[in-house]
Amino acid sequence: MKKLFAEFFGTFWLVFGGCGSAIFAAAFPELGIGFAGVALAFGLTVLTMAYAVGHISGGHFNPAVSLGLWAGGKFSGKDLLGYIIAQVVGAIAAAGMLYVIVSGKSDFVDVGGFASNGYGELSPGGYSMMSVLIAEFLLTMFFLLIILGSTNVRAPKGFAPIAIGLGLTLIHLISIPISNTSVNPARSTSQALFAGADFTSQLWLFWLAPIAGAIVAGFIHKALFDKE
């Protein structure tokens, strides 16, 4: 249960901090943090919680990460379902708190996109379904390669959260204009549930592409880079 609570709180912080920065601060009049600020916020959420609770649960905070670590032989399959449920519930709880806060604004009408992910008309830059699918697959694959490599027994000790946090920052710098950056099915699900049917109808891609990329990365690391 300690591991599941760690995953719940870690994923909660990722969504609350990352998506919250996009909702409240990205385009704040004249003083908005922009894409770079949102990208940094997502990286900082993972970095801080990896240090805070990573020693308890491994600091996945993402169903794709759990499945990628399983594919790489670093995580037990019997724990997968519990981790994924804890991550999704944590993400939804954070999105709920974001909704409560944003709905208290004096001129509130609706949540709009609510930092949700999308393709086509729902992509920030109008990118096609295929473009988004490729981006999400590749970026999640490299995210897992960073995670698996930096946590390998041969890697320098204690620096993995920094590499992972900066890796996630870079991923967001690349892909916010493409898909609003998912690489995390829990994060996508939580925001889409509040943003409405247009976004939930596209959720399949933000489960399929990140999970596929993560599993491929797990197999690549196990075959090519892991300690023999």
Among candidate residues 21, 53, 63, 13, the one with its CA nearest the CA of residue 39 = 21
pTM reported for the whole predicted model:
0.96
CA–CA separation, 166 vs 142, rounded Å? 12
Specify the CATH number for the domain of residue 47.
Answer: 1.20.1080.10
Residue-number span of the structural domain to which 167 is assigned: 2-225
CB 214 within 8 A of CB 80: no
The angle subtended at Cα 35 by Cα 30 and Cα 40, nearest 5°, is: 110
Contact 68, 147 (CB under 8 A): yes
One-letter identity of residue 33: I
- Cα–Cα distance measured from residue 16 to residue 150, given in angstroms and rounded to the nearest whole number: 25
Do residues 208 and 130 make contact, with C-beta atoms less than 8 angstroms apart? no
Query: What pLDDT sits at residue 28?
Result: 82
| Cβ neighbours of 181 (radius 10 Å) | 29
- Cα–Cα distance for residue pair 181/7, rounded to 1 Å: 20
What the block records as the tokens of 212 is 């596929």
Summarised one tens digit per residue, pLDDT across range 58-103 is 999 999 999 999 999 999 999 999 999 999 999 999 999 999 999 9
**CA separation for the pair 5, 181 (Å, rounded):** 25
Report the domain count for the chain. Answer: 1
Tens-digit pLDDT profile for the chain (228 aa)? 999 999 999 999 999 999 999 999 998 877 899 999 999 999 999 999 999 999 999 999 999 999 999 999 999 999 999 999 999 999 999 999 999 999 999 989 999 999 999 999 999 999 999 999 999 999 999 999 999 999 999 899 999 999 999 999 999 999 999 999 999 999 999 999 999 999 999 999 999 999 999 999 999 999 999 875
